[in-house]
Amino acid sequence: MNIVEQMKERIKEEVAQAAEKAGIVSKEELPVIILETPKEKEHGDFATNLAMQLAGVAKKAPRLIAEDITSNFDKSKASIEKMEIAGPGFINFFLDNSYLRDLIPSIVNEGKTYGKTNYGGQEKVQVEFVSANPTGNLHLGHARGAAVGDSLCNILTMAGYDVTREYYINDAGNQISNLALSVEARYLQALGVDADMPEDGYHGADVQQFGKELAEKHGEQYVDVEKEERLAFFREYGLKREMEKLKQDLLDFGVDFDVWFSETSLYEDGKIEETLQLLEESQEVYKEDGAIWFKSTNYGDDKDRVLVKSDGTYTYLTPDIAYHKNKFERGFKKVINIWGADHHGYIPRMRAAVQALGYNKEQLETQIIQMVNLYENGEKVKMSKRTGKAVTLRDLMEEVGIDATRYFFAMRSADTHLDFDLDLAKSQSNENPVYYVQYAHARLCSIFRQAEEKGFAFEPEADLSAVATEKEYDLLKKMGEFPEIVALAAEKYAPHRITNYLHELSSAFHSFYNAERVVDSEDERKTKARLVLVKAVQTTLQNGMRLIGVSAPEKM
RNA sequence: GCCCUAGUAGCUCAGUGGAAGAGCAACAGCCUCCUAAGCUGUAGGUCACAGGUUCGAAUCCUGUCUAGGGCGCCA
């Protein structure tokens, strides 16, 4: 708990005592006291709504209750300068903020770990995200999923969870057979043979490229090979190349998975049969019309789901259930899936499956990444999966850049539709929100360069009593919020809380920067104190930027 | 038809029981001074609509409207 949180606790205690002393309520009747940081400065450093909460129990006007509380409040206990009753019955506290100076050395000492809490208690959590079929390039939606998923993993880690990043490779089933057929067709075409692409084939330039590669490398070697063997070869080749590309794109985007989990391995290890058997034993399935059905309606789904089709093959759901069973068997207490919007309707059946396997439904959390609409020149860009004409993650990284792309995706709540303005993301101007934060960092670095030039050494143990202006206290208050914000972002699975925070912190810094000088040859004591202050800002800013995978440039 | 998500300033969006917010755009100022990709100020809102619960609702409940998505023995 940092100094700000300690101060809040102390005030809460005093508020509780004052309420008791005033005889408004007994200790048992006292609700949890909420102490918030008002948005408006006129409303003080902290405020509580307790008087209004008690109005019902006390049968008294909130403002009168507030008066009773304030008159029984021992101001000396918590650096309180004054208290005001405002609005419908808020009690606003105005503090002597010099206590905030203690934050500075603690942030500087903690360095890269500032913001870390043990909110998650080192619980083992698995996050599955992206998991795009290895049949083409990662597109916009996957890019959003990658940015949000990776940021969320960073946040969870900092909030004290033991996180594993995982990618589920759909390397079994129809889509891979289709990939094999598509590679085959492109291979033949590259040799000048008039071959048709399969109906649901993959028309992307990548598959075309594979065909060319194969034609160059192997010539007509595979034209006359027996069909089964030939397709197996194309299948393996296509898959290998797609996976290489996927991994590289994601790595370049700053996303590094711990586990790449193959769907095929579930077949090979008999995990699917095992899961089916288990469901059968616990009477969660039944036979009808030659198929095997899962009674998902027992767990709130709106209809039962086929697990084994009448032709004997599995539906997509079946291996996925086995996969989820495997996740829990590996000891994860919580499993988080980050899925595209097209999987929305799939959530109830997966939740049902997890329960049918005997797990608690709270152990599975599914976050939906909503659709991304791309805008360019003020117009919506049309995309078509069939023809392979789509904006890819690679395009975004090249055209927009990694930082702006990641910031834009992390910036918005993931479960709402996102309009991605390509011109805005590309623009190197103040219209682009990512630069606001990066610029703050570049300015911080510039201050240290200047200090060095002017002969000021950075001294972590410097006397900080010169830190005393309102702008400095505003900055410190903002920095003090960071660990709470990280924990909250983890609790709500909401990376955009971090970008909001970074913007606020940058704003407090820019405001300070314009009002006050750090490096001042006339005042060594102040300069040294402010250098440590500014170091703490830099540390906090860097830690936040790292969470969302945005670089912190030293110059811009 | 059923289910999910959304509807808040001109635009893009935060806020999800407690005092209506930010960025951009608009308007007016601020560089002999650590980076003006910045700062300061002004203006801009029946929080889609109608009921309900509450001392108090943008937030919770019900209904309606609008937009997007999902409802397959596809993945």
Output the distance from A482 CA to B66 C1' rounded to whole Å: 39
Residue nearest to nucleotide B18 (CA to C1'): A49
Closest CA to A305 of A350, A367, A263, A267: A350
- Does nucleic acid strand B have an atom less than 7 angstroms from the CB of A40? yes
Residue nearest to nucleotide B24 (CA to C1'): A431
- Quote the tokens at residue A98: 């010099």
Per-residue pLDDT of chain A (556 residues; tens, 9 = 90+): 789 989 999 999 999 999 988 888 887 778 888 898 887 888 889 999 999 988 877 878 888 899 999 999 988 888 899 999 988 889 999 999 999 999 999 999 999 999 999 999 999 999 999 999 999 889 888 999 999 999 999 999 999 999 999 999 999 988 899 999 999 999 999 999 999 998 888 988 899 999 999 999 999 999 989 999 999 999 999 999 999 999 999 999 999 999 999 999 999 999 999 999 999 999 999 999 999 999 999 998 888 999 999 999 999 999 999 999 999 999 999 999 999 888 888 999 999 999 999 999 889 999 989 888 888 887 788 776 555 567 889 999 999 999 999 999 999 999 888 888 888 889 888 888 999 999 999 999 999 999 999 999 999 999 999 999 999 999 999 999 999 999 999 999 999 999 999 999 999 999 999 999 999 999 999 999 999 999 999 999 999 999 999 999 999 9
Residue A181: beta bridge partners?
Answer: none
Measured between alpha carbons, how far is A349 from A343 in angstroms, rounded to an integer?
11
- Does nucleic acid strand B have an atom less than 7 angstroms from the CB of A131? no
Residues of chain A (216-275) having a beta carbon less than 7 angstroms from strand B: none
Closest CA to A166 of A124, A206, A229: A124
- Does nucleic acid strand B have an atom less than 7 angstroms from the CB of A31? no
Q: Which nucleotides of B are covered by protein (CB under 7 A)?
A: 2-6, 12-15, 18-25, 33-40, 54-56, 68-75
- Does nucleic acid strand B have an atom less than 7 angstroms from the CB of A521? no
Quote ipTM for the complex: 0.95
Residues of chain A (345-384) having a beta carbon less than 7 angstroms from strand B: 345-346, 368, 370-371
pTM of the model: 0.95
Give the nucleotide at minimum CA-to-C1' distance from A517: B34
Residue found under tokens 């606001």: A436
Angle between helices A347-356 and A317-329 (to 10 degrees): 50
Q: Which residues have C-beta within 8 Å of that of residue A257, sequence separation ≥ 6?
A: A165, A166, A167, A250
- Quote the tokens at residue A382: 């049309």
- Does nucleic acid strand B have an atom less than 7 angstroms from the CB of A88? yes
Measured between alpha carbons, how far is A47 from A11 in angstroms, rounded to an integer?
10
Q: Which residues have C-beta within 8 Å of that of residue A268, sequence separation ≥ 6?
A: none
